[in-house]
Structure 1
């Protein structure tokens, strides 16, 4: 059996205000071609189909289009919900969808009820563990009288206890695949993941998943291998500049009669690259070596000693996809690192206003500006000195 492992689509997400839905549709619809070319039997999606619990109608339409294309290409689909999804909404009509080959695993109470799919070697059990909010999931799991420890480790340990109990009760050797949306120790996060910290702890050990032939992980956006059978596919597109070095991809997983046989990476196309530029405004606007970044999404840091006027508009004339701008003058800000009490000590209102102008603009007020400040504070009687 050949499995395609993907996750963290985040349909409907924007990138610094830019709409990504068209790029998401193009990249993910291309997975249907991979299914055909590689003879994929099952596509597993480990959570975060959508970027928000109540997605837009456009995002739902794109998701429907992609899932339909995967089914038409010949693959069954097994998916579970992530921390960005609404599990009840995503799992609605699950029984009806299963008839068409779309298997939705979003209920905590059903996480030990596998989707059973067959190949020439027999059955493979696919278990979906939705994102487990620790307190909510613990209360749900404890209803049968079984004690469940608190935190992510507690609820995932209980989830895997139930899954392994179901597996062992099936008799003989049943191959298994688990989909889980979680932060497993050893994984490397990025800036675009929503934190799931509870009590200061968000990670669970890899040992929780012992005994499973393949664990398809979701939540972290970089593709990575924690163990041969324990992997993150990562997101199909970059959702932060911290991901600009990621090679976005999916995993192609082969199971034989004995379990995991092989895993291969399939690299996904990049609709638009990401780059980071640093320099003075004049350099960025004129230097020819920056031309290669003109079609990228750009995060730009200006190092001019004085904050330039209207820099983003001027930069976007050359770099139309510049989306983030920061200013860090080469010499640093005058009051950088000072606590508030140190920055205001011994200064009157006029001095504080002058310091504020200098910090924001990167240059001291000139004589005309100082005279205007003097007139303004004189008119309101403000010459109080801060001690």
Structure 2
């Protein structure tokens, strides 16, 4: 059986206020092309189909079109809910949709009841485990502890119970949405992933999935091979600058006789690369080596000792897709003003000093008048200029 493992589509998400729906639609086109050209039998989507529990109507429309196209393709589909999804909304009409070969599993009560598919080597049991909130399943499942490990441990007990009933020769594939670690690979979350820790603990060991032929994981946005049989596909698009070095795509997995597994990574199209630049403004504007990033989405950190004026506009003249601008002066920047500098001075004078330090030049006459008007407007008595009596103001 040939399986295409993907996850964390986050349909409807934006990237620093840049809409991503067009790029997400392009990924769907790519996905369908891979299904046909690579003769895929099964597509598994391991959670976070949407970016929020109440997705925008355009995101719902794209999901509907995607599932309809997959249903008309050569592949079957198993899709589970993630921590960003509303399990009830994503799972609506799932029993009717099953008939189309698209199996949506969002209800914890269905854990242990697999989708059964055949290939040339016999039966394959696909267990779609939705994201399990430990607080939601602790009482009905009578868990001994309040953790993701306890919840997934009980889910896997149910999976193994089903496997044992079916006897030898049945291969098992599991989808799960969690923070799993413990293999040879170093696993680090990205900035775009939502924290799912309970009581400060979120990590589930890979040993929870021992004995499974293939585990398709979702939640982490970087691809990871925890063991040859336990993998994250990562998100198909970058959703934060912390993912600038990620390689995005899907795993193409061949599940052979007796559960033998081989996998190769299929790269997804990159609509616009990411670049994280650092240096003084003049360095970033003049360095010829940065020409390769002129079409990228850019996060820039300026190290000028004095904050340049109109820095974003000047950067965008060369890097028109600059989205994030930060300042980290090489000298360490501003330090807390000592009490001696504040004692007995008006807030207005302190504000003028702040402008001068931040910009490297004093406020203009017009700016000084504007600041004066602002402070006067904040006082009950416009003629009363509050004096700072100490370091705390």
TM exceeding 0.5: yes
- Residue 390 of structure 2 corresponds to 386
- Residue 346 of structure 2 corresponds to 349
Question: Is 2:179 aligned against 1:183?
Answer: yes
Distance 1:8 1:296 in 2: 23
Stretches of structure 2 lacking an aligned partner (at least 5 in a row): 377-381
- Residue 33 of structure 1 corresponds to 33
Give the secondary structure class of the aligned counterpart of 1:380: coil
Q: Deviations over 1:286-321 (max 9, x none)?
A: 443322211100001122222223322332232221
Cα gap change, 1:380 to 1:218, in 2 (>3 Å): same
CA drift of 1:274 comes to 0.3
Distance 1:179 1:267 in 2: 21
CA drift of 1:173 comes to 2.6
303-312 or 85-94, which deviates more: 303-312
Contact 2:146 2:198 survives alignment (8 Å): no
Distance 1:370 1:98 in 2: 66
**Structure 2 length normalisation: TM-score?**
0.89
Cα gap change, 1:367 to 1:189, in 2 (>3 Å): closer
Aligned-residue RMSD, C-alpha: 2.5
Matches within 5 A, 1:251-262: 251-262=251-262
- Residue 317 of structure 1 corresponds to 317
Cα gap change, 1:115 to 1:368, in 2 (>3 Å): same
Distance 1:153 1:371 in 2: 60
Distance 2:2 2:29 in 1: 19
- Residue 379 of structure 2 corresponds to none
Stretches of structure 1 lacking an aligned partner (at least 5 in a row): none
Distance 1:366 1:220 in 2: 47
Matches within 5 A, 1:17-96: 17-96=17-96
Instruction: Name which of 347, 355, 360 aligns with 1:363.
Output: 360
**Structure 1 length normalisation: TM-score?**
0.91
Instruction: Name which of 145, 148, 152 aligns with 1:152.
Output: 148
CA drift of 1:130 comes to 0.7
Distance 2:274 2:340 in 1: 38
Matches within 5 A, 1:1-387: 1-142=1-142, 147-186=143-182, 187-335=187-335, 338=336, 346=343, 348-350=345-347, 352-358=350-356, 361-363=358-360, 365=362, 379-386=383-390
Count of equivalent residues: 379
Contact 1:47 1:80 survives alignment (8 Å): yes
Runs of 4+ in 1 over 6 A off after TM superposition: 340-345, 366-378
Contact 1:182 1:219 survives alignment (8 Å): yes
Distance 2:225 2:66 in 1: 26
Distance 2:162 2:367 in 1: 78
Distance 1:331 1:194 in 2: 34
Give the secondary structure class of the aligned counterpart of 2:166: coil
Give the secondary structure class of the aligned counterpart of 2:250: strand
Cα gap change, 1:157 to 1:341, in 2 (>3 Å): farther
Distance 1:328 1:260 in 2: 51
Give the secondary structure class of the aligned counterpart of 2:148: helix
Contact 2:247 2:267 survives alignment (8 Å): yes
CA drift of 1:327 comes to 1.4
Distance 2:364 2:37 in 1: 72
CA drift of 1:255 comes to 1.3
